[in-house]
């Protein structure tokens, strides 16, 4: 008989659904594999007003009524406490800090956390979560995440009650850093940072489809991230950072960072946990610790994966997904 795994339907604690035509593709794939997900606000224009948040949530729900979007807003320099209050009233559970210029659509981001002090104080008072893209834009690319630790520590010290998420950890030094901080600090981990190293980006021919921010790093970093994911420590949970860009743009000579992993992340994670004998930690990592950190219930529905081959298409609606054209060893049970 085929081997099966049944878990509570996963929660994707960090994903980019985009807008317009792409939204249909992304929410469809998200809804297949995830009960809910933290929807990132780096759209154009950004999600930073109650009207935009409400319209975006409506768009998502109209396409995927069974997917629960956990809505975020994008912090901007000088954002007032009242503006934060309005975002909370419109349903946001988190605010996202993008250092200015660090990644896709972040030119309007934050240069220093001092420029959003009032907003952070309000988030603290309103019990909103602060989610951070932890990279210092002008540092050497492989040290950008590590260089951000100082800024992160300053915010944590200034707002001891604020819940903070260190997003898409990529550097082994970040695993130790997040582990050393209090229980109100957590870190998300992506499928691609658990599976790839820089060799998959520039080791042979340069592959823009494995290029993301923060860039995947070395074997020791991947090992530390795996240890964190397998640890059973509730500080570490899954966030895919699935971030599609059209194939033409990715192959253009100025590829934006971002990997589309929604269609394959869950079976890839099943394979990784199974191969390492850590299936006992799989459900908590994928489905339980993330919502718990946000104070949300886990899904009530379950999914079953069967150990049988499935193939990821080479292109999905103009997007080259992670593991394009490859065979995965787990599939969703019909
Ligand atoms: C993301 C995107 O394209 O929106 N890109 C990425 O490389 N991860 C933004 C982000 O999370 O950095
Ligand atoms: Zn992201």
Domains of the chain with CATH codes: 10-300 (3.20.20.140)
- Which of 26, 38, 241, 321 to probe ligand 1 with, by most ligand atoms within 8 A of CB? 241
Contact between residue 321 and residue 313 where contact means Cβ atoms under 8 Å apart: yes
215: left (phi > 0), else alpha (psi -120 to 50), else beta? beta
Pocket probe for ligand 1: among 26, 250, 258, the residue whose CB has the most ligand atoms within 8 Å is 258
The answer to whether the CB of 15 is under 6 A from ligand 1 is no
If you average pLDDT over residues 29-38, what whole number do you get? 98
Reported as a single tens digit per residue, the pLDDT across 114-160 is 999 999 999 999 999 999 999 999 999 999 999 999 999 999 999 99
Q: In percent, how much of the chain has pLDDT > 70?
A: 100
CA end-to-end span of the chain: 16
DSSP 200: I
pLDDT at 334: 85
- Confidence label for 18 from pLDDT (cuts 50, 70 and 90): very high
Residue 167 CA, closest ligand 1 atom number? 11
To test ligand 1's pocket by mutation, which of 22, 38, 104, 131 has the most ligand atoms within 8 angstroms of CB?
104
Q: Which ligand sits nearest to residue 99's alpha carbon?
A: 1
Contact 43 CB / ligand 1 (< 6 Å): no
Ligand 2: distance of its center to the CA of 36 in Å? 16
pTM of the model: 0.98
One of 12, 51, 241, 317 is an active-site residue; which one? 241
Range list of β-strands (E), 94-233: 94-97, 129-132, 163-166, 185-189
At residue 298, the pLDDT reads: 95
Answer whether residue 1 shows pLDDT above 90: no
- Verify whether residue 200 is a known catalytic residue: no
Residue 194 has pLDDT above 90, yes or no: yes
3-class secondary-structure state, position 163:
strand
DSSP 3-state assignment of 131? strand
- Whole-number pLDDT of residue 300: 94
What is the distance of C-alpha 132 from the center of its chain?
10
Give per-residue pLDDT as tens, 52-83: 999 999 999 999 999 999 999 999 999 999 99
Q: What is the mean pLDDT of residues 205-224?
A: 98
Contact 53, 31 (CB under 8 A): no
261 lines ligand 1 (CB under 6 A): no
Q: What is the mean pLDDT of residues 217-246?
A: 98
The answer, yes or no, to whether any atom of ligand 1 lies below 6 A from the CB of 144, is no
Give the pLDDT confidence of 161-191 residue by residue, as tens digits. Answer: 999 999 999 999 999 999 999 999 999 999 9
Of the listed ligands, the closest to the CA of 105 is 1
């Amino acid at each position: 008989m085929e081997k099966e795994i049944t878990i509570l339907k996963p929660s994707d604690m960090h994903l980019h659904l985009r807008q317009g035509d792409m939204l249909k593709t992304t929410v469809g794939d998200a809804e297949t594999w995830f009960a809910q997900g933290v929807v990132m606000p780096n759209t154009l224009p950004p999600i930073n007003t109650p009207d935009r948040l409400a319209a975006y949530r409506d768009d998502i729900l109209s396409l995927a009524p069974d997917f629960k979007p956990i809505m975020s807003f994008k912090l901007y320099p000088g954002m007032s406490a009242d503006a934060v209050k309005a975002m909370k009233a419109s349903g946001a559970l988190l605010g996202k800090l993008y250092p200015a210029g660090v990644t896709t659509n972040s030119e309007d981001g934050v240069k220093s956390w001092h420029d959003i002090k009032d907003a952070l104080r309000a988030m603290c008072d309103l019990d909103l979560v602060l989610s951070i893209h932890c990279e210092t834009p002008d540092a050497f690319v492989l040290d950008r995440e590590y260089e951000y630790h100082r800024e992160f520590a300053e915010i944590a010290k200034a707002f001891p009650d604020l819940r903070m998420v260190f997003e898409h950890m990529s550097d082994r030094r970040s695993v130790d850093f997040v582990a050393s901080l209090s229980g109100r600090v957590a870190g998300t981990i992506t499928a691609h940072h658990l599976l790839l190293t820089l060799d998959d980006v520039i080791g042979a021919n340069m592959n823009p489809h494995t290029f993301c921010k923060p860039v995947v790093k070395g074997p020791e970093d991947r090992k530390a991230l795996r240890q964190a994911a397998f640890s059973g420590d509730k500080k570490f949970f899954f966030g895919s950072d699935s971030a599609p860009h059209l194939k033409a743009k990715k192959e253009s000579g100025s590829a934006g960072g971002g990997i589309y992993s929604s269609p394959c992340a869950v079976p890839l994670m099943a394979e990784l946990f199974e191969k390492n004998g850590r299936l006992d930690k799989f459900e908590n990592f994928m489905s339980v610790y993330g919502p718990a950190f946000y104070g949300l219930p886990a899904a009530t529905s379950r999914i079953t994966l069967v150990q049988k081959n499935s193939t990821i298409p080479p292109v999905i609606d103009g997007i080259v997904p992670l593991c394009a054209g490859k065979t995965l060893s787990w599939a969703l049970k019909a």
